[in-house]
Structure 1
C-alpha cells in the first residue's frame, strides 16, 4: 500500500535531500509505515533518519547541516507546538499546506525552489495526518519525478553602469571603506572581495558577522564591530560600499559623514521582512555579491596599485593591522594575578591547540563574547566559522551535530558557546543524539554564571542606575551562587569527556585532553571554562 507519505518521502529523496531530523508524534503513522516499507523492500530507507528528542535540537541540526555544506535538510515535527503555522510563517521564505497526495510533489518542489533562491531561507509545509495517510495508486507513488524543471532562480548581476559608477567612486576616493556581514555565505565571493580590497587598498570593516567574510590576518582587515563602539573608519570615509549586510552600522552610535557616497549591494537590498531599514545610499543594487564584485573589478585597472595615493594608503593600513594584531596578542598574554583566566586566554589556548586548522570548523554562539571569539580565533578560510545569524538562542549544540553529518572531511568541529546558550540548546537531548549518530564535537563553554546580555542591555540604558551596583545574581540574570557543572550534563547524557576548569595553569592540558577525546576517541568533549562572573 502506498500513501501520500510515500510520495512525500520519495520527492524529498529525488530532490536531493539526504537527511531528515525527526521529532516523531502520533501524527506520523503513515510516515513511519512508509519508512519501514522501504527498509523491508530495499534494505534501507531513502533518507537518513536522525531521531531528535527535542524539536529545537532538530531544527538547529538541520540549520547547521545546511550552513556547513550548502544543501538543505528536512525536519519533521508534530501537533500544536510543532505546527503553529501562523507563528512560523513570518520567519519563512514560503509556506503551504499539503492537501492531497496528487500534488504533494509539486508542493515540496515549490518549497525547495524558494528555499534555494536568494535570499535563501527555510520553508514550512504542513498536513493533517489524514492527508498523509491517504492511499494513492502505485503508478503515482513510483512515477519518476523530473526535478530539473524546479531549479532555483539564477544569481543576478548589477548593471554595467552601476558597476562603472561604483568602481570609479572607489578608484577616486581618498578614504574608501567596505562593510560586510555575511558575504562569506558564498565562499567564492570572499576571494573577489580580497581582490578588490588588494587592488585599491580599501579597508574592510566587518559588522555583526555571521560568516568568515575576509581573512582576519589580512593587512586591510581593520575592524570587527557589533555596532556599539565608535568607528573612525566609518565616520571618516568619503566612499562606502555596503555589501551583504543587515546591520552595517547603528546610527545612534555611528553614522557616515553627510557627504559620503554610499553604495549598497545585497541579495535582499530593501530588507523586505524588516519593519524599518534605511541607509543613505546613492545607489542600491539587488544582486549576488560574487557577480557584482567581479563586474566592479572589470572596471578597475589591474595595475592601479602602483598609484602613489593607493600605495601610501596600503602602507598605512599595514601599520594599523600590525598594531591591531599586537593588541590582540597582548590581551591573550595577560593572565590575571589570581590564577584565573580571561576569554582571550581561553581562545589563544584553543587556537593553538587545533592540530589541523585547515580542516577545523568553528561554530560561534558566544553571544556577549561574540567580538572576542571572532577576533582571537582569527578565522582565515571562507567557511571555517559561522554563527546562527538568527535571533534565537540554543542553536550551537544541534548545529554542531548537523555540521558533523554534513562534513565528513573535517578533522574537528568546535563550538564556542556561553553558558546561557548552552542550556538553551537542550544539552541532554543534543549529546544523546551526538552519541547515537557518532557526531563528536568539542564544546568550549565561556561560563560567566548567567545571562550577561540582559545586564549589558540594562547598563546601556541605566549606566548609573540601581542595577549597575549589584551582581547578576541579585538582578536575577545569574545562575549562582552555586552554578552547575555543565560538562557533566554531557557526560551523563552522551558519554562525553567533560571537565570544569577555573585556573590558568589547568587550561592548556585540559584543552589538549578535550581535543584528543574528540579526535582520537570519537566522542564529544565539553570544557566548562569558568570566567569572571556577571
Structure 2
C-alpha cells in the first residue's frame, strides 16, 4: 500500500494531512488558546500552497457543529469540528446530541488544557490553563458519543485518527470525541509516515436474519390491514427507494411520523400522511422502520392481537433508557437491504395473495383521496384568514422551491408540500437541541453550492441558533442561503404542550402566557443590514409570494443571503 512521508512537521501538521487523506474536506472550528499549533499549521500550508482540510471560522460552537451536521446530511461524508477545551465542548453539546440521535458520523474534537505547567512547547502559558482543566473533560459528552479518547503521543496519531473515523462511520453511525493536548500537537517530528487511505475497513450493510425476515414477510403478506411507520428511513436514499418499491408492490400504506427526511415521495399512492393515530388501532400488522417513537402511547395503541415488527440498524434503540413499544419481531439490518429482503420474501411467501393485495390497494387509494380532500379543505380555510398562517408560508415556499434543500425547524407543513426527490428535506433536531437548522443550512450549501438552500425556523429557534454568528459565516464564506423566520411571537411547542395538559386551564386564558409569549416586536430582517444580505418583514398573506420572489432574486441573482421575517399566527 502506498505511503506518504512528511519531514520536519509538527503533530498538528501531520494530523491535518491525515484528515485530508481520510476524506475530511472541512475543519469547522471555534478557536481558543489550545489551537496555536493548528493555526500555525494552517498558515504554513497556505504560505506554501499545501492543501489541507479547509478551515472555517465559526463564532459559536453551535454553528460549527450544525455546519458539519448539515454538510454530512447532504454529502454523506463525516467532517471535523474542533472547539476550545471544556467550555467549547459544553457549548457544542446540544448539537452533538442531535448528531447522535439522528445517527450521523462526525469527528468532534476539542483541545485539552496543557498537561505540563512549564518546560515544553505548548505547556501552560495563560491564567485560564489552570481553572479550565477538568478531571474528566470527556465525561460531559460520553453519553452522546460512540467513542472518546485523548491523543497521548505522536506515535499513535494514525491509529487514533483511523479508529475515530471507523467508530464514527460504523453502523449505526454517530459522533466521536477526540481531545488534543496542546503539547502533543506542538511536538516536532523529524519524519512522519502514514499509509494512504488507512486500513480500518468498516463492516458492510447488515442483512436481517433469514428466519425473522421470513416470519415478518408472512405476517405482512397475509395482513388485511397492514401499516408501515417510518421516521428516518430517508437518511439513506437507497432505503427510500426500497420502501417505495415494497409498499407499492404489496399495497402497504405508509405513515411518515415526525419525518426527518423524504421518507417516501409525497405523491406516492401508498403515502397516508404523517399522523399514525387514526391508523394504528385498526392495523393487524405494523412494520416500524427506523422510528424512535412510532406513535404516542397516550394517543393510540395497537389493537389486541396485532403484530408489530421493528426493522432498522439497531431497531430496539439501546441508547434510549426507556422504550417499551411492543415488538414481536426485531430485524437488525441496514434499512435498504432489510426492506429489499422483505420484498423478496413476501413475493414467495405462502401467505401471498394477489386478491388481498388488490383489496388493500383499493382501500388505501380511498384513504389517500380522503386525505387529499382534507388537505384541500384546510388550505381553503387558511386562505380565508387575513393573517399569515403556517400553511400560507408552506404553500408559498412549495411554489418556488423546485429541487431546493429545505431545512425544517419551524411550523413548515411538509404534509401540504411536494417532496418527491430523496435528500431534499431535513428535520434533524431529533434531541431537541434548537437552532441547528441555521448552521446546518450553511453546511449543506457548502456541500451543494449549486443548490438553493432554504432554512425555515421559528422565532424562538432562530434566537437559539446564535443568528449573528450564522449570518457572519454566511457572509464570510459567501453562502447565499434563504432564511425564513416563522415569527409567531412565542414558543409554539411550549404552548402546544401546555394546552395538551391544561386545555381549559389558566394558561389557556392568560395574556401573555407565562414563559411562552414574546413581548417585543423583533425585527429580525434588520440582521441583514449588518452582513450585506437582503431582509424583509411580511405580515400580509397577499404580499408573501412577491416577498419570496424578491428574496430569491437576492439569493440566486446576487449571491447574497436573505431573510424573510414572516409575522404569522401560532399553530
Counterpart in 2 of 1:281? 327
The equivalent residue for 1:313 is 360
User: Is the CA contact (8 Å cut-off) linking 1:181 and 1:209 kept in structure 2?
Assistant: yes
Partners of 1:496 and 1:523 within 8 A in 2? yes
Normalising by structure 1, what TM-score? 0.93
1:182 corresponds to which of 227, 232, 255? 232
CA deviation vs aligned residue, 1:422-458 (integer Å, no higher than 9, x gap): 1111111111111111111111111100111122222
Q: Where does the alignment leave 5 or more consecutive residues of structure 1 unmatched?
A: none
1:94 deviates by 1.2
Q: Which residue of 1 is the match for residue 473 of structure 2?
A: 433
1:199, 1:302 within 8 Å by CA — same for their partners in 2? Answer: no
Equivalent residue runs for 1:233-312 within 5 Å: 233-301=279-347, 307-312=354-359
Q: Distance in 2 between matches of 1:345 and 1:494?
A: 28
Post-superposition shift, 1:336? Answer: 5.7
Partner residue in 1 for 2:433: 392
| Gap change, CA 1:302 and 1:192, over 3 Å in 2 | farther
For 1:199, which of 232, 244, 249 is the aligned residue? 249
1:11 paired residue number: 18
**Whole-angstrom CA distance in 2 between matches of 1:284 and 1:91:** 24
The question of whether the paired residues in 1 share the 8 Å contact of 2:222 and 2:352 is answered with: no
Task: Find 2:62's aligned residue among 56, 60, 67.
Answer: 56
Offset, 1:326: 2.7
- 1:64, 1:401 within 8 Å by CA — same for their partners in 2? yes
> What's the CA shift for 1:345?
1.4
TM-score (norm 2): 0.87
| Segment drifting more, 93-102 vs 455-464 | 455-464
Aligned residue runs from structure 1 range 355-434, under 5 A: 357-358=402-403, 360-366=404-410, 369=411, 372-388=412-428, 389-410=430-451, 412-434=452-474
Q: Distance in 2 between matches of 1:66 and 1:337?
A: 41
Contact 2:226–2:253 (Cα < 8 Å) also in 1: yes
Query: In structure 2, the residue corresponding to 1:147 is in which secondary structure?
Result: coil
| SS at 2:148 equivalent | strand
Distance 1:409 1:100, change over 3 A: same
Residue 255 of structure 1 aligns to a residue whose secondary structure is coil
Which residue of 2 is the match for residue 32 of structure 1? 39
C-alpha contact 1:208 1:247 (8 A) present in aligned 2: no
Look up the match of 2:88: 82
Q: CA deviation at 1:338?
A: 6.0
Residue 213 of structure 1, CA deviation: 0.7
Query: Is 1:493 aligned to 2:530, yes or no?
Result: yes
- The yes-or-no answer on 1:479 pairing with 2:518 is yes
Give the CA deviation at 1:331: 2.4
Superposition RMSD on alpha carbons, in Å?
A: 1.9
3-state SS of paired residue (2:252): coil
Change (3 A) 1:241 1:444: same
Is it true that 1:531 corresponds to 2:568 in the alignment? yes
Q: Secondary structure at the match of 1:446?
A: strand
Partner residue in 2 for 1:21: 28
Aligned position for 1:329: 376
SS at match of 1:299: helix
Paired residue secondary structure (1:276): coil
Q: How far does residue 305 in structure 1 lie from its aligned partner after superposition?
A: 9.6
Q: Is the 8 A contact 1:3 1:101 kept in 2?
A: no
Deviation at 1:215, TM superposition (A): 1.0
Measured after TM superposition, the shift of residue 61 of structure 1 is 0.5
1:220-272, CA deviations, whole angstroms, 9 ceiling, x for partnerless residues? 111303xxxx7231111111111111011121211111201111111122212
Question: Is 1:7–1:101's contact at 8 Å kept on the other side of the alignment?
Answer: no
- Contact in 1 for aligned 2:346/2:352 (Cα 8 Å): no
Q: Secondary structure at the match of 2:34?
A: coil
Is 1:506 aligned with 2:543?
Answer: yes
Contact 2:222/2:353 (<8 A) preserved: no
Are residues 1:46 and 2:52 paired? yes
- Cα 1:458–1:334 change in 2 (3 A) is closer
Does the C-alpha gap of structure 1 residues 365 and 82 become closer, same or farther in structure 2, counting only changes over 3 Å? same
1:351 aligns with 2:411: no
Instruction: Report the Cα distance in structure 1 between the residues aligned to 2:383 and 2:361, rounded to whole angstroms.
Output: 37
1:463 to 481, 484, 503: 503
Distance in 1 separating the partners of 2:348 and 2:376:
35
**Is the CA contact (8 Å cut-off) linking 1:115 and 1:122 kept in structure 2?**
yes
Whole-Å separation in 2 of the counterparts to 1:417 and 1:529: 10
**C-alpha distance in 2 between matches for 1:73 and 1:3:** 22
1: distance between equivalents of 2:235 and 2:379?
29
Determine helix, strand or coil for the equivalent of 2:407.
strand
Comparing 414-423 with 273-282, which one deviates more in the overlay?
273-282
Contact preservation (8 Å) 2:220, 2:346:
no
Q: State how far apart, in whole Å, the 1-side matches of 2:514 and 2:52 are.
A: 51
Structure 2 unmatched runs, 5+: 1-7, 90-136
Displacement, 1:373? 2.2
Give the 3 Å change call, closer, same or farther, for CA 324–16 of structure 1 in structure 2.
same
SS in 2 for 1:443: strand
Structure 2 residue aligned with 1:222 = 272
Determine the C-alpha separation between the residues in 1 that align with 2:175 and 2:26: 15
Aligned with 1:353: secondary structure? helix
Aligned equivalents of 1:231, 1:384: Cα separation in 2: 26
- Per-residue deviation at 1:302? 8.5
Offset, 1:334: 3.3
**For 1:105-254, what aligned pairs fall within 5 Å after superposition?**
105-137=158-190, 139-140=191-192, 143-225=193-275, 231-254=277-300
- Hey, what's the Cα distance between the residues in 1 that align with 2:226 and 2:551? 44
Distance in 2 (CA, whole Å) between partners of 1:333 and 1:461 is: 30
Query: Deviations for 1:105-147, whole angstroms, at most 9, x for unmatched residues?
Result: 211111110111111111111122122112222x21xx23243
